[in-house]
Structures are given as C-alpha cells and as structure tokens.
Amino acid sequence: MTADEFRQAGHQLIDWIADYRANLEQMPVRAQVDPGSTRSRLAGTPPESPVDFGEMLQQLQQVVVPGITQVQHPMHFGWFPSNASLASVLGDIASSGLGTLGISWESCPALTEVEEVVCDWMRQLTGLSQQWEGCIQDTASTACLTALLVAREQASDFSQNRGGLQAEKAAYTLYSTEEAHSSITKSGLLAGFGKDNLRFVEVDPVTRAMSTTALQALIEDDIRKGHIPTAIVASAGSTGVTAFDPIAGIAEIAQRNNTWLHVDAAMAGSAMLLPECRHLWEGVENADSISWNPHKWMGTILDCSLFYVNKPELLIRVMSTNPSYLRSTVDSEVTQYRDWGIPLGRRFRALKLWFHLSLDGPEAIRTRLRRDLDNARRFAEQVEATTDWQVLVPVNLQTVCIRHEPAGMDTEALDKHTLAWVNSINQSGMAFMSPSRLDGRWMVRVSIGVESTTWEHVESLWRLILQHVAQDLENNQGALTRLKK
C-alpha cells in the first residue's frame, strides 16, 4: 500500500468509525451470533489477490460488526466499563501509524519519555506521592504477575540466581481473598507459589473486604510452620462487588512481616481521579506496587494498565536483560522499560493516554465519573425502594448488585428466576448485565459507566428489568397452573 492509497483508505476508515460510533445505539448490545458463525462467514483460505478497500469495509460491517458485543453501547451494564474514548482512539491510531519499536530507549527515545511523563501525570491526577514511578503494562493481570515475581525474588533473596524456588526448602505464601480477581490466583500460580501456598483471607460478611485480624492470624500461623509470607494482594475495588480491602491496616501487617503489598485497583483506580474517593484506598502510600487500568472506566482504549512501584531498582534487578545488541552509550542516563516488565518489544501505548488527557482533559473525565457515581446511587435507591428488591452489597462506586426476591421462592427457584430474567434481557439485545454468584447464589451486577450512558438509559434499564421480571413470574405462574391441572 502506498502512502497515497493509505491516505484515501484511512479517511474512509475514520469516517466509517465515526458513523459506527454514532449509530451504535441502534445495534443489539450482546452479539446475536452463534458459536462459529463469524468463522463460517470468512474464507477458509487467505486471499490470493488484493481485496479492494471498499470491499474490506463491507466485510468489516457485515462479518465483524455482528460478532461484537457492544461494550461502548449506552445500554451495556455488564462486567465493567471498557470505555474507548475517541480521543484515545486517535492516540492509538497515531501509535500504529508511527510504527515504532520499543525495545530500548535508543530504539525510540520518545516512546520511553512520553511514557515517563504521562505516568507521572496520572500519578499526580490520582493523588499519589512522588515516591511512585510508573510504566504502562498491557493489563492488570501482567502487572500483578510482575509484582509477584519481584515479591518472590525479594523474599527468597533472589533465588532466581541460584536454583530458583525449586531449590528452596521453605514455602512462599501469598494472601488475597476469594473476592479478588481471578488474575491474582493465576499470577500466583504462574509465579510459582503453588496452589497449596495461596491463602484466601476471610472477608467481612457485609463489606466483603479483607479482615486484617484474619490476615494477621494466617501470617502468624504460616511463620510458625516455617513458611515465608511473601506477598499480599489487596483489592481496591474487587471485581464482583467492588469491595475495598482496608489497605492501611494491611500495609501495617505487610511492613511488620516484610511482605510485599500489591494493590490491585484495576477497575476502581479511575475513581482516584476524584479526591472524594481517595479515602477508599487510604494507606496506599505504604504499599509496594499498585496497578490500575485507565482502559476501564476512565476510557483510554485497551490496552493501558498503569503499574507503579516505589523501588524500581528491585523490579529492574528481577526483570533486567542486557544483551550486547541492545546497549548504547547513554544506558546509565535513561529508563529501559524492558526492565520493568516481561516483554522486550513494547508498543507506544503512552500516546493514547497522552491524547486522551490532552484532548478530553481531566476535568471532563472527572465530571463523567461523578455522573456515573450519581447514577449508580440513584439506581440503588430506586431498587431499594421497590418491594421484593434487594441491593445486596454496599455501593462503593458504580456497580450495583441486585436481586429480585419475591416471597415464597426457595433458593433453587430464586436462582432460576434471577437467571431467567437477566438472560432474557441479555438475549434480547436491549441491554446487557452480568449475572454473578454471591454466597453461592445468583445475583445481577449492574455496572454503570459507559461513556454514553446517561440517567435516561439507567431509567430505561430499570423499566426493562421490571418488565422481564414480571414476564418470568407470569411464565412461572402459567407453568404452575398447568402442573396443578
């Protein structure tokens, strides 16, 4: 493709994206396709001759779009907000267009230095002190794995330089809760802790936050057994119910026991742009590492996960590689981000954050986050004020966990009823929410926070919920009557 052909196709593509975003509300939220149907619409062999760009766009529209669950849709209330602000999309396009290679400072000095600056901007915007230095990882999962690898090496006096964990006699233990994201367990397993050494600390039955008393007891017990308490992962906004572990108390325990504390704020980190929310992660300054995803609620397009540490030298000691072909004369003066994580080659991710912060601006982002908090609070009040409805967990941010609990249904019937009404909404394509288990029973998470979701959308969701609930009750009634006959 020549530069001129690119220019022409690029204009067409941008127009196509702008139209797509403008018309998104007309589409079903959940992809209305069966497994394998997208694949079956694609040729089984690669094209031998070039495809015309117009034809390419047509295929994008006809084959790809139907296979997308529209997480940018204002009626998307599932999982978590995965906003992709158009300002950040432009930054992502710029990053692709520049075609940079981030393997060393020398391979793209701007890549490293824009990243240093935007990570520091984000540090300031979230009220973190100057002790924190950051980088951008692809995801919070990678950031957590990286943190746990460093924790493991610190606790084992750098066992990687000897026989690794395999040669160690003591067991290295990791602490989190059942509420923590599945990536924490996965990272623990990948970092070599072993399932037997993962501890799930009891949580408060109401707030679902880690109990510091239980944490202390587990650590003492492990020490008595000759184990080495190595790392704690505290959730600042857990996935299911947005629980906030008490970081200040946990940090005290971590410091007393020389245990690494990683704060996983993947979803809720965005809230820390709001000074009024920062009490929720009080004590974070005493952690060892923090990660959170601007690619969620804040809206910098995937993938963009911030990872902060206060002792980069430890991270570098564990992650550093220094092959001769990557050396340059300025190495002692510059940051080599390949030593801050697992990959060697890195994308110019900082551009999307830079564009997002510069073109939209922090104040507009803060206003939107406050709108979502307000919508969640109003929605929760509406649910609570309605007979037979429960808000099951305190609403800390923008996720509301709800259940319709009509009298006379046993647990099994209630589970069936919950899944029936939520699935019928999801299947209809009118809105999307995530059913999830809480204390062994189904409930529904309503996660508010798509960029285009207004209060009117939340109100229409509530109307939709009430309709589908009534419909399921009627269906059940019909079934019962038929059974009696």
Ligand X SMILES: Cc1ncc(COP(=O)(O)O)c(C=O)c1O
- Which tokens in the block code for residue 298? 């804040």
Of the pair 132, 297, the CB lying nearest ligand X is at 297
Residues 267-286 close enough to bind ligand X by CB under 6 A: 267
Of the pair 235, 398, the CB lying nearest ligand X is at 235
* C-beta of residue 115 within 8 angstroms of C-beta of residue 123: no
Q: How far is CA 27 from the centre of its chain?
A: 24
* C-beta of residue 389 within 8 angstroms of C-beta of residue 402: yes
Closest separation in Å from C-beta 107 to ligand X: 26
Among 92, 153, 264, 339, binds ligand X (CB under 6 A): 264
The total of other beta-carbon atoms located within 10 Å of residue 42's CB is 10
Q: What is the DSSP string of 33-46?
A: --TTHHHHTS-SS-
DSSP designation for 128: -
- Which tokens in the block code for residue 474? 């009627």
* C-beta of residue 147 within 8 angstroms of C-beta of residue 289: yes
Closest separation in Å from C-beta 411 to ligand X: 27
Whole-number Å distance between alpha carbons of 223 and 226? 5
The stretch near ligand X (CB under 6 A) out of 232-240, 359-367, 457-465, 471-479 is 232-240
Of the pair 267, 400, the CB lying nearest ligand X is at 267
Among 104, 146, 176, 293, binds ligand X (CB under 6 A): 293
Closest separation in Å from C-beta 164 to ligand X: 25
Among 72, 126, 139, 154, binds ligand X (CB under 6 A): 139
The stretch near ligand X (CB under 6 A) out of 60-68, 134-142, 156-164, 316-324 is 134-142
**Residue carrying the six token digits 């330089």:** 161
Of the pair 156, 235, the CB lying nearest ligand X is at 235
Whole-number Å distance between alpha carbons of 56 and 188? 43
Closest separation in Å from C-beta 298 to ligand X: 13
Which of 223, 226, 245 shows the shortest CA–CA distance to 234?
A: 245
Closest separation in Å from C-beta 449 to ligand X: 12
DSSP designation for 25: G
Whole-number Å distance between alpha carbons of 54 and 40? 21
Of the pair 76, 404, the CB lying nearest ligand X is at 76
Residues 57-96 close enough to bind ligand X by CB under 6 A: 80
Sheet with 172-176, side-by-side order of all strands: 133-137, 305-309, 289-292, 260-264, 228-235, 172-176, 198-200
Of the pair 80, 379, the CB lying nearest ligand X is at 80
Among 181, 199, 346, 403, binds ligand X (CB under 6 A): 181
> For the chain, how far is it from start to end, CA to CA, in angstroms?
72
Whole-number Å distance between alpha carbons of 462 and 469? 10
Among 88, 95, 126, 141, binds ligand X (CB under 6 A): 141
- Residue type, position 123, single letter: R
Of the pair 80, 354, the CB lying nearest ligand X is at 80
The stretch near ligand X (CB under 6 A) out of 85-93, 231-239, 391-399, 400-408 is 231-239
Contact status: 208 vs ligand X (CB under 6 A): no
Closest separation in Å from C-beta 423 to ligand X: 21
Q: Which positions lie near ligand X, rule CB under 6 A?
A: 80, 139-141, 181, 183, 235, 237-239, 264, 266-267, 293, 305
